Amino acid sequence: MTSMRSIVAAAIIVVALCWTGQPGVEAQPQGPAAQPGTKWTEQQLRDAVAPARVGKKLTPRSWPGNARVAVCLSFDVDNESYLLARGEKSPTTLSAADFGAETGLARILDLLDRHQIPASFFIPAVSALLHPAMIPAILKGGRHEIGVHGWIHEFLPGVGSAAEEERLLNQAIDYLTKATGKRPVGYRAPAWAFSEHTIGLIRKAGFLYDSSLMAMDEPYELVSNGEPTGITELAIDWTLTETPYLGRNGAMPSSEQLYQLYREEFDGAYEQRTMFVLTLHPHVTGHRAPMHHLEQFVSYMKSKPGVWFATGEQIARYVKDAQ
C-alpha cells in the first residue's frame, strides 16, 4: 500500500538516527567533501561493499512438516543496557527501559505460552545481570532460544579496536553460557550495527547464525571479502521492528498501522514460501496497546495452515542440514 509505505518511510527518516546511533537514509551530506563516494574508483566501490555480501540463498525446498513459511518471532531484550552504555543515569529515562524487565517480558512470555510457540531472545549480558530472573523465566517452558546482543548494547563502530570488541563479545558469551547452561549459537549486533571487525569476530567465536543484516528477506549465507563465512544470515529489516514507530521517539504511534504492515509482510512470505522474522523489544512492545495487536497478529498467523514457528537456531540448523 502506497500510503502505508510513505508513512513508514517518513517514520524511519525521522527516528532512524535516534535508535541506531548511525546515520541512515536521513543523512544529508553538505558539499562535495562530504560525499567521498562520488570520487571512488570502481575498486574502491567494490571494496566498500565487500565485507558483507549475499552468498548462497538458503530457503529450503520445503520447511518441516511441509510448512509454507518459517516464522521467527525475536525479541531484543535491551531494557536499560543501551542507556547505561552511554552513561545515562536519569531515573525517569532508565525506568521507561526497566519496563521491559518489570512488565513487558512477562506479558510476552505469557502470550507465547498461551499460543505454545517458540521465540528467540537476544539479550545484552548487562540486561540479564541487572535482572537475573529474566533468563530462568525465558528458559522455563523449554521452547525459547537465548542469543547474544552485546555486553552492554555497545555500539560496535564506536568501540575503537578489534581487541576491545572481542573482549566485550567474549564477556557476553561467557555470561550467557553460564546463565543458560548452553553456549549461544545466534548473534544479533547491538543496534544491528557491525564494525569492520565484527564479522571476523563472530566467525572466530563460531556462531551458527547472525541476525543483524538486511540484504534479503529469506535466509542466505554471509560472504565476506569473497569468502563464504559458513554463517547463515537470518535477515531482519528496519520496517520489521517497532522502535522507529512506537515509544518515546516513535514517529507513528499507531500499533494498528504497524501491524497492518507486519501482516502484509507475513502474507508475502507465506505466498513466497520463505521466512518472516519480526524483531520486537519488551520495553516498547510490552505496553498494552502493542500487546493487543501482537496477540491478534499471532492468532492471524496461527489461523493459516502451514506456518512453522521456530527459533532462529531451529531455522538456521534446518536450512544448513537441507543443503
Contacting residues toward Zn ion, per CB under 5 A: 76, 78
In the complex, minimum distance from the CB of residue 147 to Zn ion, in angstroms, rounded to a whole number:
11
In the complex, minimum distance from the CB of residue 206 to Zn ion, in angstroms, rounded to a whole number:
22
Q: Which CB sits closer to Zn ion, 277 or 307?
A: 277
**DSSP code for 68:** S
In the complex, minimum distance from the CB of residue 281 to Zn ion, in angstroms, rounded to a whole number:
7
Alpha-carbon torsion angle 87, 88, 89, 93, nearest 10: -170
In the complex, minimum distance from the CB of residue 308 to Zn ion, in angstroms, rounded to a whole number:
26
Provide the residue type at 158 as one letter.
Answer: G
Q: Which CB sits closer to Zn ion, 194 or 308?
A: 194
**DSSP code for 50:** T
Q: Which CB sits closer to Zn ion, 212 or 274?
A: 212
CA atoms of 193 and 209, how far apart (whole Å) = 16
Q: Which residue is nearest to Zn ion (CB)?
A: 76
114 burial class (0-12, 13-18, 19+ CB within 10 angstroms)?
Answer: exposed
In our burial notation (b when 16+ CB lie closer than 10 A, e otherwise), range 147-185 reads bbbbbbbbbbbebeeeeebbebbeebbebbeebbeeebb
Q: Which CB sits closer to Zn ion, 76 or 242?
A: 76
In the complex, minimum distance from the CB of residue 84 to Zn ion, in angstroms, rounded to a whole number:
13
Q: Which CB sits closer to Zn ion, 211 or 229?
A: 211
Residue 152 · residue 109 · CB < 8 Å: no
Cell 572481542 identifies what position?
Answer: 166
In the complex, minimum distance from the CB of residue 28 to Zn ion, in angstroms, rounded to a whole number:
26
Q: Which CB sits closer to Zn ion, 78 or 98?
A: 78
Q: Which of 94, 92, 145 is nearest to 123 (CA)?
A: 145
